[in-house]
Chain A
Amino acid sequence: MSRLKAELGEELEAYFVEKRYELIKQVVSRVLKGRRRLTLSDLLDRVFLHRGLGIPIFLALWWALFRFTFDVSAPLSDAIDMFFGWLGDMAHDGIANPWLASFVADGICAGFGSVLVFIPPIFFLFFGLAILEDSGYLARAAFVMDRALYKLGLHGRSFIPMLLGFGCNIPGVMACRTIEREEDRILTILVNPLMSCSARLPVYVLIGGAVLGAYAAAGVYSMYILGIALAVCMALLFRRVIPYFKGRRSVFIMELPVYTRPTVRGLLRHMYERGVLFLKKAGTIIFSVMVVVWFLATHPWSATAGGEVIENSYVAMLGKALEPLVRPLGFDWRAVAALFFGFLAKEIVVETFGILLGVEEEALTSAIAQIFTPVTGLAFMAFTLIYIPCVATIGVIYRETNSVKWTVFAVVYGLLLAYAVAFVIVSVGHALGYP
């Protein structure tokens, strides 16, 4: 190996770049006359790009974004939930035919409701992101995070897709288009689903609230952190182990736009563009899946007495068939059935539990506490975080990677990793003496 390469290693390319800039700086210093007046962007960047404060500022703003997304949109979600609940009740009371009543109330209304209840957080998130993006700040955030991301095996441009993934993985995966090198792009796409999308949150809240008691909040936060940590590990792992991903990462040159005041119209447009992707998925897949779940849970009609005796339904048969696979994890047939449908769309996991346990909203928490222990509950939350992204995301992954191989890989590694992590949680929990 040439001594130059041996000495410089990874830094070889940067060495040449630097030498060119050395010359350029000399030229510029002799050619540029007069002093440059400070601009507003210079002033703001003094702080936003500050070596020590830059990243903490971003983390604080990110937290603000999350609070905004979930807490401020909550009343809207509540309202939607109540509305569809009311509608369902009306259907039950108003429609004579029990099958039709069930179909309209538990199938259609519940279906619509469980989907539309996600619209507020998703749109709020994308609105908030639009503020950060249109003002020009997000580019600075990407810039300060770039060095950290680079060390973690990811590309600076992965930053925004990862942020989007916290709302919905679909726009997140699609945003990976801005990454130039195919290897970097595919790696980011593979890792994106580990960003806990908003559809998984209700599962954490339900299970966490039911079995983790006082630690519920910590449990929910830890899922997000776990997702990020796993994304980092997987990125590093894939880079090291899979030959395709080996090789130099492109250096991140980014244009820092001038800071501008966002326009309301621009914000709304951005929010709409990204949110509508979720709506399309919602409108088609989730809704159809809900109807399918309703069908499988209430049929054979006579055996289940119109949905009353769940144990006799097709869902139960499915769950019981899959149960052996998850017994080491401490999950029962209801859990695995919920996971199965969660594969189709994470938004319906909570709803599915409701149906399978045969209880209404209020009693759901205590019912959950019956079938999970704190350890198995935590394992279930982790499983939900990690396993296969929902069908719509899989579709988008296929479209963006243009490869069956990578799409299958994404699904398989997700399943394996989820199982492994859940197993570790259960094993460690049991070893520590928890049930």
Chain B
Amino acid sequence: MWPVLDLRTRRALAVYGSVIGLAYVIVGLLEVVNAFYTWFLRPGAEEALIALPGLPAGDLFGGFSSLVVGSVLLQAARLWRPGRDEDVAFVLVGSLLAAAFGVLYILVFTANGVSALLAGGEELADWLAGGWLADALRPEIWLFVLALPAAITSWRAARIIIGEEGVEEE
């Protein structure tokens, strides 16, 4: 079966996908390290080991999830050389996963805000003081935004491959 997608598109996706993938892997690693520190090495510590704004201090599974998203996106490297059309799916699904988590953390941010509003008093003050920023700066939200162009490009490429637009093979 002859591949449909041209090399230029493949390479663009390969580069963009892998770079974002790498970013997710790095973020994931940082989060996992933080979680190990906070949970096992020094529980109840006031400061996280790696204290970047927005980086959670004790989210082991969230870090694992970002590692997974990153791993999927890194597979885009396969697109650098000519090969199977299906490999576009790594960018497509990777962006889908990125979207799932991006939207999730936006929702969590909103929920925390509403909870704080309901509780009022001290909880609300805490959240307004700095809690909200930590939630809003969660890396996965912004990486998702960055991944949007990759999502759109891979979706278009997928439609070409399926035969719904663009090149028609004989």
Q: Which residues of A are at the interface with B, using a C-beta cutoff of 8 A? A: 35-40, 42-44, 46-48, 53, 56-57, 59-61, 63-64, 67-68, 71-75, 78-79, 82, 213-215, 217-218, 221
Contact = CB atoms under 8 A, between A and B. Distances in A.
Contact of B111 (A36, A59, A72, A221): A72
A152 B151 CA distance: 37
B88 interface: yes
Given A44-B93, A53-B71, A63-B61, A214 B161 contact: no
Nearest to A213: B44
Nearest to A43: B89
A79 B39 contact: no
A387 B158 CA distance: 50
Contact of A64 (B85, B92, B100): B100
Interface string B74-116: 0100000000011111101110010011001001101110110
B136 to A, nearest CB: 15
Given A38-B86, A213-B44, A218-B39, A78 B64 contact: no
A43 B108 contact: no
Given A46-B89, A57-B68, A63-B62, 4 more contacts: A38-B85, A38-B161, A79-B118, A217-B58
Given A53-B68, A64-B101, A75-B111, A43 B158 contact: yes
A44 B111 contact: no
Nearest to B94: A47
Contact of B39 (A40, A43, A215): A215
Contacts of A39: 162
Q: Which of A35, A47, A64, A79 has the most CB of B within 10 A?
A: A47
Given A53-B72, A75-B114, A40 B93 contact: no
Interface in B112-163: 112, 114-115, 118-119, 158, 161-163
B65 A60 contact: yes
A78 B68 contact: no
B93 A67 contact: no
B108 A67 contact: yes
Contacts of A67: 62, 104, 108
Contacts of A43: 85-86, 88-89, 92, 158, 161-162
| Contact size range, B | 35 or more
Contacts of B75: 47, 53
A74 B115 contact: yes
Q: Which secondary structure characterizes the binding site on chain A?
A: helix
Contacts of A47: 72, 75, 89-90, 92-94
A59 B86 CA distance: 23
Given A38-B162, A40-B158, A78 B119 contact: yes
A366 B87 CA distance: 55
A64 B61 CA distance: 9
B122 to A, nearest CB: 12
B162 A37 contact: yes
B53 interface: no
B86 A46 contact: yes
Contacts of A217: 39, 58
B86 A74 contact: no
24 contacts: A35-B1, A36-B1, A37-B163, A38-B86, A40-B162, A42-B86, A43-B86, A43-B92, A43-B158, A46-B89, A47-B72, A47-B92, A47-B94, A48-B93, A53-B71, A56-B64, A56-B68, A60-B69, A68-B104, A68-B107, A71-B108, A75-B118, A78-B115, A214-B43
Nearest to A73: B111
Contacts of A61: 97, 100
Q: Which of B1, B68, B71, B75 has the most CB of A within 10 A?
A: B68
B115 A59 contact: no
B147 to A, nearest CB: 15
B64 A57 contact: no
Contacts of B101: 60, 64
Contacts of B87: 46
Per CB-CB distance, the 9 closest pairs between chain A and chain B, nearest first, are: A214-B44, A214-B43, A75-B114, A60-B65, A47-B93, A46-B86, A60-B68, A43-B89, A46-B89
Nearest to A66: B61
Nearest to B58: A217
A47 B93 CA distance: 7
A43 B86 CA distance: 5
A137 to B, nearest CB: 10
Q: Which of A42, A44, A60, A72 has the most CB of B within 10 A?
A: A60
Nearest to B69: A60
Interface string B8-44: 0000000000000000000000000000000110011
A422 to B, nearest CB: 23
Contact of B43 (A59, A79, A82, A215): A215
A222 B138 CA distance: 25
Nearest to B71: A53
B70 to A, nearest CB: 11
Contacts of A64: 65, 100-101, 104
Nearest to B45: A214
Contacts of B40: 218
Contacts of B97: 57, 60-61
A167 B163 CA distance: 41
A201 to B, nearest CB: 16
A71 B114 CA distance: 11
A213 B107 CA distance: 28
B64 A59 contact: yes
